[in-house]
A = this chain, B = another copy of it.
Amino acid sequence: MNSDRNKKARILCGSTDLGSSAFCADLLWCSAFKVPDPVTLVEIDDTRILLTSSLEVARAQKEAKVDEVVLIEEYAQRAREEGVNPLIIFLRERGVGSVMVPGSLGYDLGGKLSKHFSVNVCIEQFYPERTIKKEFEIAEIAKAQVAVDHALDEVRTILSDAHINGDYIFHRTFGDTPITSEHIRDGIEHALYKEGYLALDTIVACGVQAADPHMRGDGPLYARQPIVLDIFPRSRSSLYFTDCTRTFFKGEPSGEMIALYENVREAQEGALEKIRAGVDGFDVYTWVRENFDKKGYSTNTQAHPVHGFIHGLGHGVGLEIHEAPRLGACHAILQEGMVVTVEPGLYYPQAQGSIPAGGVRIEDTVVVTKEGNKNLSSFSKDLRSIIMQ
């Protein structure tokens, strides 16, 4: 490498369009540019340069929050002559000798770059500062959460107005058909869509289905059984998410089921009390898991089926539904301005002694503060709020 090429570049490739397979949240966060086809962002010495095709260049110049917009076609001729990617010509021209790329950068492009530059993979987040949310980001997530709380209110109203016949639940809106997961999901997703939010694969899982945390749920809802409602809509304009889960019941559940619910609620509220800047997410996760163990709700992720508290305690929320930090089996010191979920759950596909079959999860999205955290949901978890008689 000669002395003319001593600069370091950071490189991101992708599009920022929700429907694209190449969606790159870091690129949207950094450039604020909505673009359907993949573009490349290069940072050299704090200068952010967006490389786009002729199709996007005019709009990029107007809309992208970058220092420079470069037409990639200007490098096409030389790239063809040398038989290399145009990005390589560009980087060389700018005196770049080494590049830092995210682990998700295409293996193909990474391999090509490695023939001309020293390539370092960024193992952690590409922009660690993305975990600390700015005011407008928190406002976007909070607005989404208000819409979720309204949607939960609507579900509560429907279940309150409904009546039980045998094991099923009926409501005049759906005539003689028992209320299903699909009915409730459709209602939630349509209501959120009207408010400007995209809710996809909303979980409405009842009874044994609720024992699988990623089961969307289908078919009739059952009276007196847990109905897990996990709603994670995304703003259609800003693309920010929120994430929230409540577990409802129609009709009084068994004492064992109430005990299961109350254990999850106490764990969730206990965890919320611990969440504050400076705390290690791992410690809060461990506290929840040990607390469940102590109360007799054991976890086994090697068993078939797996059961207990089988997932992490939470995760960051922003332009991705699951982003850093993770609150789970790894250390992660919480910082002021992080937005994270706190979502313990207990899952038993089969009854175990006095533990009934089923699943319960309770989840809030909170902003970490110096003193503790600010819960973006105001939807109650008390038994009288979540059991509809």
Contacts and interface: CB of A to CB of B under 8 A. Distances in A.
Max chain B C-beta neighbours (<10 A), residue from A21, A58, A194, A311: A21
A320 interface: yes
Contacts of A234: 19
Interface in A1-31: 17-25
Contacts of A241: 19
A322 B23 contact: no
A215 interface: yes
Contacts of A110: 107, 110-111
Nearest to A322: B37
B108 A106 contact: no
Interface stretch (A129-137, A161-169, A277-285, A302-310): A302-310
- Which interface class (under 10, 10 to 19, 20 to 34, 35 or more) fits A? 35 or more
A23 B201 CA distance: 14
A357 B149 CA distance: 48
25 contacts: A18-B19, A19-B200, A19-B234, A20-B320, A21-B25, A21-B104, A34-B216, A36-B201, A36-B322, A37-B214, A37-B322, A54-B302, A55-B214, A55-B311, A56-B214, A59-B215, A101-B107, A103-B108, A103-B109, A104-B106, A104-B107, A106-B106, A106-B107, A107-B119, A110-B110
Interface of A: 17-25, 34-37, 54-59, 73, 101-111, 119, 121, 123, 190, 193-194, 198, 200-201, 212-216, 232, 234, 236, 241, 301-302, 305-306, 310-311, 320-322, 349
